[in-house]
Amino acid sequence: MGDQEGKIKNQYISWSPEETKTLLRLLVDGVNQNWTDASGKFNKLTVEQRILPELNKICRSKKTFSQYKNKTKILKKTHKGFVDLLRFSSGFGWDKDTKKFTAPNEVWNEYLQGHMKDTYLRDDTFEDFEDQRRSMDKILQKEIIQWDEISAVTGTTNQIVSMIQQRWQKEAEEKEAEEKVNKV
């Protein structure tokens, strides 16, 4: 566990379940301690000075920032699969005891018709789902809030532009009407 000596550069180095679980706990702690920036992301300095040293100490590993980025990308993708599954139908649930997603067979069959690559969601157990959900929900929630703010500004800007265009159209019509009157 954590032995990454002699690996080829850019080769994916797998994470042990302990490393993944520890990373998720550290991310949850970091979010709770407001280590994220305004967009809900951890900057490189925070990761390198606060998260990775603790992870490497606890797990006796030598994870790098690049490996952290790859792992969080995978975690976000997995989290998206979880979210899609739970939003798909009210027939899905989560069993804390078995650490599995639950649903009647008909619901699974319908879901898997459109998501063939997600069969693992039906078959696998997810020991770290609770931690992952907490950390990713908080991180993604900040991203959604920021996106909502951008959307609100964009909407207001579009309204202003529309009002200006309407005013220009009205001025052009008034000028045209005035020119007709002057010709007569």
Q: What is the pLDDT of residues 107-159, one digit of tens each?
A: 888 888 888 888 888 888 877 777 666 666 665 555 444 444 545 555 565 56
* Greatest Cα-to-Cα distance within the chain, rounded to the nearest angstrom: 93
* pLDDT reported for residue 48: 96
* pLDDT reported for residue 137: 64
Q: Which pTM was predicted?
A: 0.54
Query: Among the listed ranges 17-21, 94-98, 142-146, 153-157, which one has the minimum average pLDDT value?
Result: 142-146
* pLDDT reported for residue 1: 47
* pLDDT reported for residue 134: 67
> 3-state DSSP: the chain helix, strand, coil percent, rounded to 5?
70, 5, 25
* pLDDT reported for residue 61: 94
Query: Among the listed ranges 21-30, 106-115, 155-164, which one has the minimum average pLDDT value?
Result: 155-164
Is the pLDDT at 54 greater than 60? The verdict is yes
Specify the DSSP element, H or E, that contains 95: strand 93-95
Contact at 8 Å (CB) between 8 and 62? no
Is the pLDDT at 47 greater than 90? The verdict is yes
In the 8-state DSSP scheme, what is residue 118?
G
* pLDDT reported for residue 162: 65
- Confidence band for 178, pLDDT divided at 50, 70 and 90: confident
In the 8-state DSSP scheme, what is residue 8?
P
* pLDDT reported for residue 116: 81
Is the pLDDT at 63 greater than 70? The verdict is yes
* pLDDT reported for residue 93: 79
- Confidence band for 11, pLDDT divided at 50, 70 and 90: low
